[in-house]
Structure 1
């Protein structure tokens, strides 16, 4: 990573590679997430497949459990390593249309950015603008 940043002449003051992203999130992080989505929870499965739905079903949570756990763990790591930062820049997680509901996606974003320093979520258009590989 350091070599790549140097090659693109990107100055940085601290570089830390964190290998434990796949650990299970802490119970307090799970409770925080449950509180975030509590108003959007729908125990019935009637709205399954309805793209205009503004609820989160149990089946959706089950299907996206790994991704949700990854976002919860990422929150813990961000709080630990970036809480004192002046600015946090991160790639915007992109939802897959028809797979993740709007309330769950917004809960992921809130989970990542709540109580954090200024946050810049960046997303490209899948076109490489760096000449590293050409």
Structure 2
């Protein structure tokens, strides 16, 4: 990663590669997220809502984003000037908008400036080694 960053002339001061992202998030983090989505679990509310089935189906993804946020991003990036992260790809019709936005809120809440980037699967950076 360091070689790649230098080839693209991207200055950085610290590089941490996270490998244990698949562990379960802390119960405090899950409780915070449950409070965040609680208004969208009410089926009688106006607008889109999150179903219990949807939460069960995407529990792995939710846990992964919560782990990234609380235990990894806050630990390694809370003092950064800018955090750049790949935007989770929103797949239309696969999950509800409130759940997707809750994932984004979980990743970026109370963080330094955050830039979420998304490409179109076409490489625009090239280098010759």
Is the structural similarity TM-score above 0.5?
yes
Query: What TM-score, normalized to structure 1?
Result: 0.87
Match of 1:83 among 74, 78, 89: 78
CA distance in 2, matches of 1:26, 1:9: 37
* Aligned residues: CA RMSD: 1.7
Gaps of 5+ in 2: none
Gaps of 5+ in 1: 45-52
Match of 2:108 among 98, 110, 113: 113
Query: What TM-score, normalized to structure 2?
Result: 0.90
CA distance in 2, matches of 1:43, 1:72: 24
Deviations 1:67-117 (A, max 9, x none): 000000000211111111111111111121111100000000110111111
User: 1:28 and 2:28 equivalent?
Assistant: yes
User: 1:62 and 2:56 equivalent?
Assistant: yes
**Structure 1 moving runs of 4+ over 3 Å:** none
Counterpart of 2:18 in 1: which secondary structure? coil
CA distance in 1, matches of 2:56, 2:91: 16
